[in-house]
A and B are shown apart, each in its own frame.
Chain A
Amino acid sequence: MRVVIAEDAALLREGLIRLLQDRGHAVCAAVSDGDALLAAVAEHHPDVAVVDIRMPPTHTDEGLRAALALRQWHPGTGVLVFSQYIETSYSAQLLEGGAAGVGYLLKDRVANVAEFAAALQRVADGGTALDPEVVSQLFRASRQRGGLSTLTPRERQVLALMAEGRSNAGIAAELVVSGGAVEKHVASIFSKLGLPPGESDNRRVLAVLRYLGPAT
């Protein structure tokens, strides 16, 4: 896959480039601020952009604003936002226009190289990769409105993994159960929540998110 990286810390930027190149991906450009990111994406049309939230000049949310602009102008490019912190208002803004091709991860997650690469691939393919922290915040917000009470603890686990963007096979591997068991849970969740079972991973996530509702 073809990737553009926007990260102002040189150490992390170089690390990411190496990580991705090691796995056979092409890094078209590695930049260090939001404007350069927009220019690089316009030039290279990559499959996915990895975007740090805090970048020069103000070191607050430049990356987020650049990511939102990318979502609007280059819907074909997946956006994986990563940051030292998970902020509810940021996840709400990112998910506002749908969850397709969106990722929001803590920077810690790059430590688990395989999972990070898999998440990036999912986002590049138009899927979703949400940090477990994002998901748990969304769950809390949703629980506050009531509605998840009918789910069993196991079903909540499955729903959380679905919300992170995992496939049935991924969920089965994570929970160490058979694929059939996961399918049963998913069907049960959908019926309890009154949602029609979807075909693709993406529609599942969309359905889950629509139910959870981005926290505001």
Chain B
Amino acid sequence: MDEEIRRAAGIILGAPLTRRTGRELLYCGLSGVAGALGFALLLALLALGLSISASVLGTVIGLLLLTLALRVSRRIGSLHRRLSNRVLGQHVEAPPPFQPGTGILGRLDRRLRDRAAWRGVWYSLIKLPVAAVQLYAVTLTVFGVADLAYPAGWLLFHHSPGPGPSPMTAVIPLPFGGTFHVDSWLGTFLVAAGGAVCVVAAAWLARGINAADYAVARSLLGPRTMAERVSELERTRTLAVEDSAAALRRVERDLHDGAQMRLAALAMNLGMAREKLDDDDDATVRELIDAAHRNAVDALADLRDLARGIHPPVLDNGLASALATLAASSAIPVTVAADIGPRPAPAIETIAYFCAAELLANATKHSYANQITIRICTERTGLLRLEVGDDGIGGADATRGDGLAGLAQRVSTVDGRIDVSSPPGGPTAVLVELPLEP
């Protein structure tokens, strides 16, 4: 028991001598100053911005000041995160980077709705009392060290000739304040003892306030709120969907301008070579060129199917054209009715097209239908509706078979939905709903 008490006392009293306390105090000083300055700067910008915005003329300047304040807020946040990381080794994750919108209004709108920046403002406001305590801890340490040095000071200066501090005056830190007069050497040890208490108290105060600061920084400067996280995920998912659509388009274009074009030229040259061969030329050469020519033509056809599967070029002209071409190549008669108002995003068009193609292929393979209908329309609510129906035997099951399950997966990447109605005996009707923008 005694052992433990002694150890605890050792830890508590020895705290000021550890390197950690040095770092904590350094952080208190830097972060306290930065916090106080940041508070003053932001408060000035915000107050000025808001008060100027109140008048019509000042609105523009006021808004500019506000956006400036929010930019500064992000900078301050990053400064505090860096300080915490460098000095204390406590990592605070950065919020998502600012996403500038397009156009002046777009940029302004994004800036004013930049949640990370606003939370940074909150941090700076809360930081003021925190910074005060941090700076107090630093002062306490300075005073404490000065008081600790008192006995030595007495010996060095008090008895020296000339006017010395007699009696010596000790500084007493807030909240007690005031001065304390000492007129004997023994008395200085009392001051030194007070200094020691200050130094120990300052060490623990620094640790405590820094822990609190870290907690505040983590919640306001670091990991986002759930809503922010969700909107961030939505944004990146949209980017991913659009990216992959654009990448497929690029692949198709590269194939078209590269391999397909070269193969066509090759086939043409082989065709010309074949014509130049006379009947009396070597029969094996003729056969070889014939075979090469056939291969080139077949490869061209294969490549065309492949490229079309990657991204049908006619989609560039809109869904209606693409579906008409799709319908024209179907083995079962297809009627297409399209009523598309505002054009959906390319990624959505691609998904809708491949849904239609897959459903058409399914119907052709399994339905024994005589007639397939494709209806596609945009709704005012911002939805693209695709209906594919047939008069076949029904029995399609969304939970079985890769085709429909794959479609459901594809549709769900943009929060679309798919609804399959296919009772045994038919008819089958599949409804796909997609947002106009991913």
A interface list, Cβ under 8 A from B: 9, 11-12, 15-16, 18-19, 22, 54, 58-61, 84-90, 107-108, 110-114, 137, 140-141, 143-144, 215-216
Contact = CB atoms under 8 A, between A and B. Distances in A.
A215 B253 contact: no
Interface string B255-277: 01100111011011111101100
Contacts of A215: 324, 328
Given A54-B313, A59-B253, A140-B333, A12 B325 contact: no
Nearest to A216: B324
B337 interface: no
B383 interface: no
A85 B261 contact: no
B268 A12 contact: yes
A16 B317 CA distance: 28
Contacts of A58: 316
Nearest to B262: A11
B267 A108 contact: yes
A113 B325 contact: no
A113 B268 contact: yes
Nearest to B335: A144
A91 B334 CA distance: 18
B262 A113 contact: no
A18 to B, nearest CB: 7
Contacts of B320: 89
B325 A89 contact: yes
A87 B320 CA distance: 12
A108 B261 contact: no
A108 B301 contact: yes
Chain B residues touching A, range: 35 or more
Given A89-B325, A108-B300, A111-B297, A12 B265 contact: yes
A208 B262 CA distance: 36
A11 B269 CA distance: 10
Contacts of A137: 325, 328-329
24 contacts: A9-B257, A11-B262, A12-B261, A12-B265, A59-B256, A60-B317, A84-B260, A84-B307, A85-B313, A86-B325, A87-B321, A88-B328, A89-B314, A89-B320, A90-B314, A108-B264, A108-B301, A111-B297, A113-B268, A113-B271, A114-B275, A137-B329, A140-B333, A143-B333
B264 A144 contact: no
Nearest to A145: B333
Contacts of A19: 268, 272
B272 A18 contact: yes
B17 to A, nearest CB: 74
B300 A15 contact: no
B267 A84 contact: no
Contact of A110 (B256, B268, B307, B308): B268
Contacts of A113: 268, 271-272, 274-275
Which 4 pairs across A and B sit closest by C-beta, in order of nearness? A111-B267, A144-B333, A88-B328, A137-B328
B328 A11 contact: no
A84 B313 CA distance: 10
Contacts, number: 103
Given A85-B312, A111-B297, 9 more contacts: A15-B265, A16-B268, A58-B316, A85-B313, A88-B327, A111-B271, A137-B325, A144-B335, A215-B324
Contact of A111 (B257, B268, B308): B268
A171 B313 CA distance: 33
Contacts of A12: 261, 264-265, 268
Interface string B271-314: 11011000000000000000001001100110010011000111
A89 B321 contact: yes
Nearest to B274: A113
Contacts of B265: 9, 11-12, 15
A45 B324 CA distance: 35
B330 A140 contact: yes
A108 B308 CA distance: 15
A45 to B, nearest CB: 27
Contacts of B296: 111
Contacts of B257: 9, 59
B253 to A, nearest CB: 6
A111 B293 CA distance: 8
A110 B324 contact: no
Nearest to A11: B265
B272 A84 contact: no
Interface in B122-152: none
Contacts of A140: 328-330, 333
A11 B300 CA distance: 16
A126 B325 CA distance: 27
Contacts of B327: 88
Nearest to B265: A11
Given A9-B257, A84-B256, A111-B267, A60 B328 contact: no
Nearest to A60: B316
A89 B267 CA distance: 27
Contacts of A88: 321, 324-325, 327-328
B313 A144 contact: no
A22 B272 contact: yes
Given A19-B272, A140-B329, A54 B314 contact: no
